[in-house]
Amino acid sequence: MTEAPSRNNEAAEVKDWGWSQQPGCVPLSRKVFRKWLAKVNATHFEEDATLCFMELLTNAIRIPSPSGLTDTRWILYPDKLRIEVRDYSPEAPYISPSNPDSESGRGLILVHLLADKWGYDHCSFLDGKGGYVPGKTVWFELHK
């Protein structure tokens, strides 16, 4: 774990992690994320943060990346938790109307309802061949 300055000049706990783009990584990522929250004394965020993180990661692993990994960043500031998930699609995330019988399509609704703030930032990634590919970072924040 590395320590980095936060935006308000107080120390933050930061963890970067790349996840395999296989559905089987989701249960493992849930366990690792919960252990990290316990390690940084942030278990009060556990229920909402875990659900929101799983939704963003599940969406992101469906989008192939040059490395075969989906990168995530977990940042605990003194006053909030921020989770970032990167993917290689330039399309903005959107809340889609879902059919009540549908088995999917509710993830961003949950993030919208549970997170204090959420959004996305467009960015570019190195493609491993000297060029760039478009993408985005989808994030959410939970405040104390």
Q: Mind listing the pLDDT tens digit of every residue in the chain (144 residues)?
A: 333 444 444 679 999 999 999 988 999 999 999 999 999 999 999 999 999 999 999 999 999 988 899 999 999 999 999 999 999 999 998 887 766 555 555 689 999 999 999 999 999 988 878 889 899 999 999 999
Quickly count: other Cβ atoms within 10 Å of residue 86's Cβ.
22
Q: For 2-143, which CATH superfamily applies?
A: Histidine kinase-like ATPase, C-terminal domain (3.30.565.10)
pLDDT on residue 16 = 97
Backbone phi, psi, residue 105, to 5°: 100, 5
For the question of whether the overall pTM of this predicted structure is more than 0.75, the answer is yes
pLDDT on residue 67 = 86
Distance of CA 69 to the CA centre of its chain: 13
Cα distances (angstroms) measured from residue 27 to each of 51, 55, 63: 12, 12, 18
